[in-house]
Amino acid sequence: MLPEQDYVFIVDEAGISNDRFTVVGGICLHRDTLEGVYKTMAQYREAFNMKAELKWSKVSDQKMVEYQWLVDYFFAMNNSNLLQFHSIIFDSHQWNHHRYNEGVGDTGLSKLYYQLILHKFLCHCGPHGSLYVCLDHRNSQTSLHDLKGMLNATGRRDHGLIDPLKQLVSKHSHDEDLLQLNDVILGAVCAARNGKHLLADYRKSKRLLAMQVMEKSGLTTFERDSPKGVGRFTVWNMRARPR
């Protein structure tokens, strides 16, 4: 069932457990584009016999062609500006949860979600229509109700937007094709930002996909923020506050 809202943002995180750089990122698109994406995803699954959940962790040398097609499809849509990808990156070595997050790591992660949704979705799409955000399901001490309230309050205070975020929900990724598509792109960005595509012992298919995503993004590196004039594929390396 398609959401009723005008703009959709599908968001997840990567690199939270074992990588130095954590990435929170998502796919943004207009509701009118959704039906076509779901139809293409269904055709892709049938043509390539990719019936199981699509995930970066499942990328293998045996399935490299199938995942390369998926990345090519994403960028065909991205280059046409039918969908965008936005991400925020944080150096986990710079966390100071004791000082800023009441000693709770999950609070720091929730703040990354808040910053990304606010600055890359609500501020840009809020003036043009109603908003829907879907997160991959995770156990968090920050309730979706509270996060939605904080985002709408900031939108009202700083941008004069009257509660543009109508729905903030979570789903299990195996039930949502867009969460799965986002997982693959997000995983590639995270791998590249952590330099894994340069490691000889990293899985070949993942190295190639990470390089494919970087090349097609139009950016030469994910270590620097995307230029201000770039809107379809953005990375934002968030700087830590003083420790």
Q: Can you tell me which residue has the tokens 């929170």?
A: 24
Domain harbouring 161, CATH code: 3.30.420.10
Q: Is the pLDDT of residue 144 over 90?
A: yes
pLDDT, residue 65, reads: 97
| Residue 195 domain boundaries | 7-237
Domain for residue 15, yes or no? yes
Domain for residue 1, yes or no? no
d(CA 75, CA 61): 21
Number of domains the chain contains:
1
Give SS3 for 82. coil
Q: What is the mean pLDDT of the chain?
A: 93
d(CA 198, CA 214): 13
Model confidence at 145, in pLDDT bands (50, 70, 90)?
very high
Q: Is the pLDDT of residue 240 over 80?
A: no
Q: Summarize pLDDT for 64-101 with one digit per residue, the tens.
A: 999 999 999 999 999 999 999 999 999 988 855 445 55
Domain for residue 75, yes or no? yes
Q: Summarize pLDDT for 228-238 with one digit per residue, the tens.
A: 999 999 999 99
Domain for residue 143, yes or no? yes
pLDDT, residue 224, reads: 96
pLDDT, residue 104, reads: 46
- Amino acid occupying residue 238: M
Q: Helices 31-48 and 64-79 meet at what angle, rounded to 10?
A: 160
Domain for residue 2, yes or no? no
Domain for residue 242, yes or no? no
Number of neighbours of residue 29 by Cβ within 10 angstroms: 22
Quick one: average pLDDT of 158-186?
97
Q: What is the largest CA-CA distance in the chain?
A: 52
**Percent composition of the chain: helix, strand, coil (DSSP 3-state, to 5):** 50, 20, 30
Domain for residue 243, yes or no? no
Q: Summarize pLDDT for 103-119 with one digit per residue, the tens.
A: 445 788 999 999 999 99
Say how many Å lie between the first and final Cα of the chain, rounded. Answer: 46
Q: What is the dihedral of CA 74, 77, 81, 82, to 10 degrees?
A: -110
Domain for residue 169, yes or no? yes
Kindly provide the b/e burial profile for residues 79-118, where b requires at least 16 CB atoms within 10 angstroms of the residue's own CB.
Answer: eeeebbbbbbbbebeebeeeeebeeeeeebbbbbbbebbb
**% the chain with pLDDT above 90:** 86
